[in-house]
Amino acid sequence: MYKFIRNIYIVMKVESIRLDKLRWYLGSKDIYRVIFEKLVELGYDVVAPSKAGNSYIFKKVSSFSEVCINYIRTSNTLRTFLEPEEVLYRWYLRDSELVIKEELPRGKLALYAVHPCDANSLVVLDALLGSEPRDMYYGIRRANSFVVIDDCLGGDEYCSCSDVGARIPWGGSGDLWLVRNNGNVYVTAISNKGTEFLTRYLSSYLNIVPGAPKIINYGTSKAELVSRLYMLNYAVNNPLWAQKARECVFCGSCLAVCPTCVCFDIIDVPNDDLRSGTRIRRWNACLFRSFTAVAGGRVFRESSEDRFKIKYYHKFLFIPRRFGIVGCVGCGRCTYFCPVGIDPVKVVKEVIGIAH
Partner 1 sequence: MLINNSSNPLLPVPAKVVLIKDEARGIKTLRLKPKGKVPEFTPGQFVMVGVFGYGEAPFAIASSPLISDYIEVSVRAVGDVTNAIHRLSVGDWVGIRGPYGRGFPVRDWEGRNVVIVAGGTGLFGVSALLWYLYEFRGRYGRVILFYGARTPQDIPRRDDLRVWSSRIETYLTVDRPDGRWKGDVGLVTTLLDKYKLPRRGVIFVICGPPIMIKAVYDKLIKLDYRPKDMYVSLERRMQCGIGKCGACMLSNGLYVCKDGPVFRIDEIPEADLS
SS3 9: coil
- The secondary structure of 55-85 as a DSSP string is EEEEEEESSGGG-----S--SS-THHHHS-S
Residue nearer to partner 1 on the CB measure, 314 or 333 = 314
- Count Cβ atoms below 10 Å from residue 62 Cβ, excluding itself: 9
Residue nearer to partner 1 on the CB measure, 64 or 318 = 318
Residue nearer to partner 1 on the CB measure, 7 or 227 = 7
Residue 254 CA to its chain's centroid (Å): 13
Residue nearer to partner 1 on the CB measure, 315 or 333 = 315
Nearest-approach distance from CB 29 to partner 1, in angstroms = 41
Q: Quick one: DSSP state of residue 36?
A: H
- The secondary structure of 153-202 as a DSSP string is ----TT--TTTTT-SSPBTTS-SEEEEEETTEEEEEE-SHHHHHHIIIII
Residues of this chain that bind partner 1 (CB under 8 A): 1-2, 4-5, 7, 88-89, 91, 93, 97-100, 102, 104, 128-129, 133-137, 236, 262-268, 270, 274, 277, 279, 284, 286, 291-296, 298, 300-301, 306, 310, 313-314, 317-318, 321-322
Beta-bridge partners for 268:
279
Nearest-approach distance from CB 233 to partner 1, in angstroms = 9
Nearest-approach distance from CB 298 to partner 1, in angstroms = 8
From the list 281, 302, 280, 277, the residue with the least C-alpha distance to 291 is: 302
The angle, 0 to 180 degrees and rounded to 10, between the axes of the packed helices 239-247 and 304-313 is 110
Nearest-approach distance from CB 315 to partner 1, in angstroms = 11
Residue nearer to partner 1 on the CB measure, 37 or 306 = 306
Please measure the distance between the N-terminal and C-terminal CA atoms of the chain and give it in whole angstroms.
Answer: 46
Residue nearer to partner 1 on the CB measure, 104 or 153 = 104
Distance between CA atoms of 249 and 342, rounded to whole angstroms?
10
Nearest-approach distance from CB 312 to partner 1, in angstroms = 12
Nearest-approach distance from CB 140 to partner 1, in angstroms = 10
